[in-house]
Structure 1
Amino acid sequence: MLTPPVDVTFTQFADRVGVPLWALKESMRLVGEKYGTDSMGAIDIPLIDEATWSGELEDVLGGTFGVVADLQHFGDRWFAGRSANQAWTAHLDGFRARGAFVGLLSNLPPSWERHRRFMIDDSHFDGIVLSHAVGSRKPDPEIFELAAKRAGLEPHQCVLVDDMEKNVTGAVAAGWQAVHFHDADQAARQVSRLLAAAVPLAG
């Protein structure tokens, strides 16, 4: 939610590197499957570093789909031209002003950390839990349990705001409340209703 929708970024990235979008996504799926996870799991935890992952994507693209591509420095090119969602950042600051605990819970490779900090600094959050730092990722229950403990809250007192349905489902399964993000104002209205009901939040 702090960046443009992932589908938009996927399309822009595929155009930038000259790879058909379907081939890029399928190659990511196949590499993830090799490591027993989904498309990004291998570098989110991480099981391998970004350069190795990018090389394996290139191998699958070429060997399986006949697409020659240079995907090195993937993160630098993924974040090129991306800007923070200022509307959502403003809502987060508003929630904190109303007394809510606002945390960042993100699936993020270690090599992408500098991009995340460039887009939005840590001062906007009361706590930060990143997949690469804790060895678990959304929608795994372990990361929700850890995030709740770090916030000093019970799971039912926490709410995840996320634009991926599988993460929303995972949060609910872990005992959290959840808001499926479609746009900043829609999500803010739903979170505001929870605040009005005096539910302590971790987002």
Structure 2
Amino acid sequence: MTINTIWFDFGGVLSPPIDELYTVYQRKTGVSRVEMEAAMAEVARPLGVHFLAPIELAMITQREWAKGMREALTRLYPDLDISRCNFDNHGEQWFQDHRVNPGVVELVTEMKEAGFKVGILTNNVIEWEYSWRTMVGLDHLVDLVVDSCKVRMRKPEPRIFALSAERARSQPSECALIDDLDENCAAARACGWEAVVFRDAAQTAAELRQLVGGAVIS
């Protein structure tokens, strides 16, 4: 079947690279990626899930997560100053001063104008929605948004790919995923999708154009 729906990841694709997000956050707060992820793992441990799952699946609220983060960081790194961390409004602090990837916006626009349905398939957080959607600014172009915190499933779970195809009214073989994580792309392919691992906008645009074969849907 011919691809008719192209799904773009948010974090690391439409947003700046994850390493850059963490680097900027460390400059703002003094807390490193290693420290943040260790604390998130502590918050997730009682639930037995991936360190991002508690908030990406809305298992706990941001306020509950914030309390857990403060406690975990204080316990793990007693000498660490976390006074500049605004965990109760983490999404706002995390995305502040960042801009959408312009090369990816151009690609989304190109695919939309060529007649493809375009969607955002993201592992994200309820309380962060306004911040990230405002940063992306693509609500006027995007046909569909599937957000892990709203559907209570997350990439790379097979169920989220089945749900996304269903919402697009497409067959799995008619969907393509653009994502910066190899495991998410591998999971999409295992579900019958096509996928392009995002490294940068130019590489992704070239691979996606090849994948769709220059097709233009009327």
What TM-score do the two structures reach when normalised by structure 1? Answer: 0.91
1:109 to 115, 125, 133: 125
Q: Deviations over 1:164-193 (max 9, x none)?
A: 222112212222111100111111111111
Matches within 5 A, 1:1-203: 1-66=13-78, 67-69=80-82, 70=85, 71-119=87-135, 120-196=137-213, 198=215
The one-letter code sitting in structure 2 at the alignment partner of 1:163 is D
Shift of 1:54: 1.6
1:44, 1:132 within 8 Å by CA — same for their partners in 2? Answer: yes
- Unaligned 5+ segments in structure 2 are 1-12
Shift of 1:133: 1.4
The one-letter code sitting in structure 2 at the alignment partner of 1:180 is V
1:88, 1:184 within 8 Å by CA — same for their partners in 2? Answer: yes
What residue in structure 1 maps to residue 9 of structure 2?
none
- Unaligned 5+ segments in structure 1 are none
CA distance in 2, matches of 1:72, 1:129: 24
Shift of 1:146: 0.5
Identity within the alignment, %: 31
CA distance in 2, matches of 1:199, 1:145: 25
Q: Deviations over 1:104-154 (max 9, x none)?
A: 111111111101221223112121111111111111111110000111111
4+ residue segments displaced more than 3 Å: 197-200
Q: CA RMSD in A?
A: 1.7
The one-letter code sitting in structure 1 at the alignment partner of 2:21 is T
Q: Deviations over 1:62-107 (max 9, x none)?
A: 1122234243321111011010111111111101111211111111
The one-letter code sitting in structure 2 at the alignment partner of 1:78 is W
Shift of 1:37: 2.0
What TM-score do the two structures reach when normalised by structure 2? Answer: 0.85
CA distance in 2, matches of 1:131, 1:57: 21
1:14, 1:24 within 8 Å by CA — same for their partners in 2? Answer: no
SS in 2 for 1:102: strand
2:30, 2:81 within 8 Å by CA — same for their partners in 1? Answer: no
CA distance in 1, matches of 2:25, 2:163: 32
1:157, 1:199 within 8 Å by CA — same for their partners in 2? Answer: no
SS in 2 for 1:72: helix
Q: Which has the higher contact order (CA 8 A, sep 6+)?
A: 2
Structure 1 residues 124 and 9: alpha-carbon distance in aligned structure 2, compared to 1, 3 A threshold: same
Moved more, 32-41 or 99-108: 32-41
The one-letter code sitting in structure 1 at the alignment partner of 2:23 is T
2:158, 2:187 within 8 Å by CA — same for their partners in 1? Answer: yes
The one-letter code sitting in structure 2 at the alignment partner of 1:97 is E
